[in-house]
Amino acid sequence: MICTIVPPYLLARIAGLQDEGFSRAAEAARHALAELDPVAQARSQARQSPPPRPGTAVVPSLRREVSDAGSRETLPGTVARVEGAAATGDAAVDEAYDGLGATGALFRDAYGRVAVDGAGGLLAATVHYGREYDNAFWNGERMVCGDGDGEIFERFTKSVTVIGHELAHGVVQYTAALEYQGQAGALNESVSDVFGVLVEQKLLRQEAARASWLVGAGLFTDQVSGSALRSLKAPGTAYDDDVLGRDPQPATMAGYVSTQADNGGVHINSGIPNHAFYLAATTLGGFAWERAGQIWYDTITEQSLPVDCTFAGFAAATLAAADKRYGTASPEYSAVTDAWGAVGIRP
């Protein structure tokens, strides 16, 4: 399962910039593309969720560990900071530590889930992965972040949504286990984007109307005309650059992309369920992690989703979750129904 924050189509675009004044970025992107297969192999060997044993007490506290790969591509690297230790002064280490904490706090405080595995396991990250590595990924056990090439991308720990996104892939791994292909893969990406932005919103105490709804804000250098990798509010508008091109995500099924690339368009078509969540959350107002987020969390943890779930199947599951928690006459149920309708999906 290839599951990285930067989509392969964007890496491929950057890899062709050798003659555009971005030689370092082009080389870094080519290397990141070459690394996708090893990452996929690691993901395919990842552990699935071991259900907590009945009666097992789970201590609701975070256990974080950040390691430093030292510009090598060997995991996990050397432990640089553990739970309760003081800041190191290394920006990537400390940003990863704080991002692990913000993500763990969202799932614990909002949904009662302790750690990615739901059983109080270690929240682990590795930073300074590779040399000028242009990506971040979840390898089945930990979040891994590169430092970027400095021409197109900054270090990947700069955005807490990236950290939240990658750890959310771990949550999906331990719950719905959506396969990384076609619409199920796009849902895997979308759920990770949803909880990635919710991590940031909860950290900043932002209500839905005030949030940016951007994934990866702050990753691009000032040489790029773009605000982020993706936008849930307005898919297709996250970047529009003379060199990188324009964000290709559709917001509705009218723009659905049928392709064999990128595991069937998982990073492109995720814009559609992303936008549905944004519409539901902003219709309900207030803090998005409380009602809309709760419904999405209930969907991946309580509904019996097939691993090859379609958009329509996922929409139906969110409605079942909304009905179970709030009832069909509730504003929550209506908001979710209308959101899916607005993006052209009929459960």
Separation of alpha carbons 258 and 294, rounded Å: 31
* pLDDT on residue 277: 98
**Residue 58 belongs to a domain:** yes
Measure the CA–CA gap between 102 and 177, rounded to whole angstroms: 23
Place of tokens 């491929």: 12
Q: Say whether both 135 and 249 belong to one domain.
A: no
Query: Is 169 a residue of the active site?
Result: no
Q: Out of 14-18, 247-251, 309-313, 323-327, pick the least confident.
A: 14-18
Same domain? 169 vs 207: no
Stretch 273-301: mean pLDDT = 98
Asked whether residue 262 carries a pLDDT value surpassing 60, the answer given is: yes
- Cα–Cα distance measured from residue 231 to residue 216, given in angstroms and rounded to the nearest whole number: 9
Q: Which domain holds residue 74?
A: 8-174
* Alpha-carbon gap, residue 177 to 43, rounded angstroms: 12
Q: Is 302 known to be catalytic?
A: no
Q: What is the reported pLDDT for 2? A: 56
- Which of 156, 174, 192 is at the close of a domain? 174
Asked if residue 1 belongs to a domain, the reply is no
- Residues 33 and 57 placed together within one structural domain of the fold: yes
Q: Is the pTM of this model over 0.85?
A: yes
Contact 68, 168 (CB under 8 A): no
In a domain, residue 197? The reply is yes
Residue 54 has pLDDT above 70, yes or no: no
The chain-wide mean pLDDT, for the chain, equals 92
pLDDT one-digit tens code per residue, 202-257: 999 999 999 999 999 999 999 999 999 999 999 999 999 998 999 999 999 999 99
The model's pLDDT over 1-35, given as tens digits with 9 standing for 90+, comes to: 558 999 999 999 999 987 778 899 999 999 999 98
- Structural domain count, the chain: 2
Task: Single out the catalytic residue among 27, 166, 179, 332.
Answer: 166
The predicted-structure confidence for 73-92, as pLDDT tens digits, reads as follows 999 999 999 999 999 999 99
| CATH code of residue 243 | 1.10.390.10
Q: What is the 3-state secondary structure (H, E, C) of 46-103?
A: CCCCCCCCCCCCCCCCCCEEEEECCCCCCCCCEEEEECCCCCCCCHHHHHHHHHHHHH
Residue that finishes a domain, picked among 122, 144, 174: 174
Q: pLDDT value at position 51?
A: 42
